Each structure stands twice: as C-alpha cells, then as structure tokens.
Structure 1
C-alpha cells in the first residue's frame, strides 16, 4: 500500500461491471476507500462483498441530476471528502445513418454526456472549494474520429474529451487535476454486444491496471492499448478523403 492511496477516498460511477468494477477492486486492494455507484444495487452489494472493509455501495442513476448531487453529498457526509472521482458510467447502442433514432441517441447522450456532467458538477465544485482533488472522466478512442456504427456513442465521447480539455487549465488554478481516459476495445458487457472484429482487445483487469498507473502519474490522457492508440491517432491525422476511404470499408448494410 502506498502513502498516496492509504485511507484516501475515491468515488467511481459505473462501478457495477466492466472497467469500473475492475478499477474499484484494484484501487480497494491498493489501499483506497471506494464509494461505488451504479444503478444496480445488487451488483454493487456483490462488489462490496469482495473487499467489504474498503468498498461502500451507493446506488445511483447518473441521469438524475438531483439524485446524483444527493448521493455525492451523502458520500462526503458518511466517508469524508472525496479525494478522487472516476466518472465512468456509460452505455452503448450501435447506431448510424441506417435506422437512426433520436430516442436511441437521447439515451446515450443522457448517460454518457449528461450523466458525466451531473456527477462532475458537485465533485468539481467541492474540490475547487477545497483547493485539491483529482477527477478522471471515462471517454473512448471512439471520440477521435467518426466510425460507422458508432455515431452517437463517438459523439458523446468526443464531447467529453473537449469538455475535459477546456476545463483542465482552469481547474489547475485551484489545484484540481483533470484526466481523460480513452480506452480501446475492452472485454466488457458493452463490447459483448458487438458482432464485428475488435482489434487489440484487452481484459477489464488490464484496463484497470493502465488506468491506475495513469492516475498515479496524474497523466492528462490515459489511452490504451498502445496499438489502438497508434491506429486511432494515425486515422485522425489523415486528410478527410483518406479517412473516408478507410471508414467506408467499415459500413455494414
């Protein structure tokens, strides 16, 4: 256990499965006290049983603004000031020009973007008042460039990248560190919905290891695995004509 993590408190949203669950377990075993939030109370209780002395379940639907603020206040009242927040709640439904649905898009925007903002609001305000803290927002390499089938999902993740980049210089004035997490394909319940090849896929435990290292080093961008990082950065850097020549090959009718 490091002095950095000993007895410190982290709030993780989206902690009931996938990367969030793996990260909650990893940080708890590294000495953090973990306030774990997600919609499923049962899943959170099962998570807490694995490290009962360190993981504290706080059920939450991040799309509810008032509820999110109330849960954060309850965490701080019961456990003390939150030292770090990892805002990882998210959802994914494949969408694009074929059969585009405003209802489907609204659900992803509500969870991925507005949900992150609902949690960010009380966390950021509290940390900036105290003059210390660390916040990491879960985005995705899908936010780098538009990919067929990931229209709204990629748009929400691009927005989170922009949001975090815009606020970082201001937050630093109050000694609050902001990071953006951009995973590639990770073996989670969300990616299990895909029926197409997912290159360079890693496990949720591997993803949690990458994230913990990045948070410890206070890196701004935590992006992994390196092969996916290289691929998306190169694709993003190409002229539009070349990018579309590549992404047209990904269209499925």
Structure 2
C-alpha cells in the first residue's frame, strides 16, 4: 500500500462496541451525528446546555444518555464525568461539536463576546481533553475528534474571533496526533465547509457548496470508518481553500478581495 493511502488512525468498523460522547449534541452537526451513530448501534452520550432537546432525542433511542452541561463552565466537566459513573464505564470516542459564531469585523469586537466565543470554541476543548485523556492513556485506547472549520485555513472577513479559534483547533489536533498516535489513541481533525445550521443562518452572504447536517454527519462517519486524520468536506470547496493556503500572501489577499464580501 502506498504510504499516502495508509490510514493515520485505526478504522472504526463496529459502532455497537463504541461509547461515544458528543459535546454539543442539541442541534446542527452534533445532533445529526448523534442520530446517525445511534442508528448504527453506538452507545451515545448527548451533552449540551439545552436539555429539552437532548431528552427529545434520547427518548427515541435506548442507547442514548442525556447529560446536560455548559462546556464554558470549567467545573461542569468534573461534574459530568462523575454523573457518568455507573452508566458508562469508559469513553471510546469524544467528539467536540460545541461552537459559537457571530459574524463580526475587527472594529466590531465586544470584549465579553470575544471571551465567550474563545471559551466555547477553544478553552472548552482543552478542558474536555484534560478530563478524558488520562483514562484513555491508562488503558491504551480511545479517540478524540475536534470539529474545527475551513474558516481556520485562511483569515477571512466576518470571522474575526471564530476563525482564529478554529485555526487554533487545527493546530491543536495536529499536536495531539503527534503526541497520542504512539499511545494507540486516535485523533481526528474535522474541517467542514458551510453547513446549514443555526450558526450559518446568521450569514447574509452566499455560502458555496452548502451542506445539510446529515450530509456532514455522513462525511464525518465515513472518515472515522476510513481511519482518516483530517476529515474535510465538501471536497470541491475545501480543496479550493487548501490551494489558496499555498499561494503567496499577495495573491491570496487579492483572491479574498475578489471573491469574499468585505
């Protein structure tokens, strides 16, 4: 097999043996992932602030467990793990889906909003990793999936806080892979393009190659099953942005001015 075709992670073949914790499961990609994984037979823990939505979903699936938590509250992680004892003996895969997005230009920043966005998008991932990683390392297995965004590829207008927070997650996932691959722990970097959710509903511009949450969930699970490290979609859009990353800044900035509303 050619090296570039060798899976970077161990492919997941049997979801019935997987205990998956989805952080941010009440809507959007998180909710679609939850439904699809439950349909595949996985045991899924659903976490978000909006408990009523979680209960609606868990009522339909016997393998779903609802666990309300505020990811921006650092104390909530220890409380959540304590609540899981007795119901779930280990977490095989944690998927960080929770995110906050507010379209804003650099001159529109509001300190409290900036702090809250970074807390949800980035700091909560660190807190979650610190909560689940020790037990994964102790038993020599597990998986961590971080949903970043193609907004982290480039500095794009209207993503003044969201974009840098996602760029940080891309860097973090790469570091995690380097650290944890030899410890038999899978690490996944998920970079969606535009997906029709409550977050993208705030945009007032044309979103090329817009996907449904169900399409996003399918692409993500396909990546898990293939053992991919980076799962990015839709390819017709993400490859264009990857090519732009390779351009000199003069050309890159010119293209952004041409094709992005500023």
**Do Structure 1 and Structure 2 share a fold, with TM-score over 0.5?**
yes
In the TM superposition, 1:212-223 aligns within 5 A as: 212-223=221-232
Q: Which residue of 2 aligns with 1:194?
A: 203
TM-score using structure 2 length: 0.91
Residue in structure 2 matched with residue 68 of structure 1 by the alignment? 77
Conserved in 2, the CA contact under 8 Å of 1:84 and 1:134?
yes
The equivalent residue for 2:124 is: 115
Equivalent position of 1:9 in the other structure: 19
Map 1:10-159 onto structure 2 (within 5 A): 10-51=20-61, 53-159=62-168
- C-alpha deviation, 1:69, in angstroms: 2.4
What's 1:167 paired with? 176
What do you get for the CA RMSD once the two structures are aligned? 1.4
Q: State how far apart, in whole Å, the 2-side matches of 1:69 and 1:106 are.
A: 22
1:228 and 2:233 aligned: no
| 2:194 match | 185
What is the CA deviation profile of residues 92-123 of structure 1, one whole-angstrom value per residue up to 9, with x for unaligned ones?
00122232222221111010001111111111
2:205/2:261 contact within 8 Å kept: no
- Structure with bigger RCO (C-alpha 8 Å, 6+ apart): 2
Distance in 2, matches of 1:162 and 1:76, equals 32
Structure 2: tracts of 5 or more residues without a match: 1-11
Name the CA distance, whole Å, in 2 between partners of 1:73 and 1:142: 35
SS in 2 for 1:79: coil
